[in-house]
Amino acid sequence: MPIHASSRVTRAHGAERLEAVTIHGDRGEKTIACDYLACGFGLSPNVELPAALGCELLEGAARVDEWQQTSREHIYCVGEATGIGGLDLALFEGQIAGFAATGQQDAARACLPGRERARRFARLLENSFRLRPELKHLPTAETLVCRCEDVSYGELQKHTSWRGAKLHTRCGMGPCQGRVCGTATAFLFGWTQDSVRPPVTVARVASLLQKNEQPEPYQSEEVAP
């Protein structure tokens, strides 16, 4: 299986089904027969929960101190929300946060070297998969950016902010609630989402209604002597 490094897919061809793809690399363009195509454009931290709690964000991730505490006192953050770094980094961060939150500073400090080793891998991952600037010129006017609401790149170009595009095109108002197109528009246009409102994850209305129902008080049965 040949590997085409430093290349990106620019077009997909086919009438009833996918037949070929055109890739652009250091040696120009090349069309390759193809049956299946999967495109990935990096990984982005999910910061909805820390954002909803009012925690400060830095470069798209929750900002934490040496002990994994966010800008909000008594709120700690670990794992994906602090940046994509893999399982090992998340485990070290979790240990540090757990020890620090329970006042075990020495135990937390013992985990710092392990976290630094894992962070080196995270930095390598970020540098290797950082989106190249030329990808901003990849979409055409017909390219769908918001797949939930079928909003094209051309439609979004008419607007200057996430809020404006959302109000006029319904971009970000579909089932994914901006989790996909929000990241795409941030890269393509530099837009940021205005706010994060609960519920943080998709929930049925029936589930939310059940949370407001007060359970009946427990009454013990009298037992005859």
- Confirm whether 217 is domain-assigned: no
What's the pLDDT tens digit per position in 85-117?
Answer: 999 999 999 999 999 999 999 999 999 999 999
Residue 197 structure tokens:
């409102």
Q: Which stretches in the chain have pLDDT values below 50?
A: 223-225
The number of folded domains in the chain is: 3
17: left (phi over 0), alpha (psi -120 to 50) or beta: beta
Residue 78 is inside which H or E element, if any? Answer: none
0.85 exceeded by pTM = no
> Last residue of a domain, which of 129, 147, 170?
129
Cβ(181)–Cβ(148) below 8 Å: yes
Domain of residue 116: give its range: 48-129
- Same domain assignment for residues 142 and 169: yes
pLDDT at residue number 225: 47
> Last residue of a domain, which of 70, 102, 129?
129
- Confirm whether 159 is domain-assigned: yes
Tell me the CA distances in angstroms from 217 to 133, 212, 220, 222, one per residue in order.
61, 15, 10, 16
Query: In degrees rounded to 5, what are phi and psi of residue 153?
Result: -60, -40
Residue 153 structure tokens:
């790149």
pLDDT at residue number 111: 96
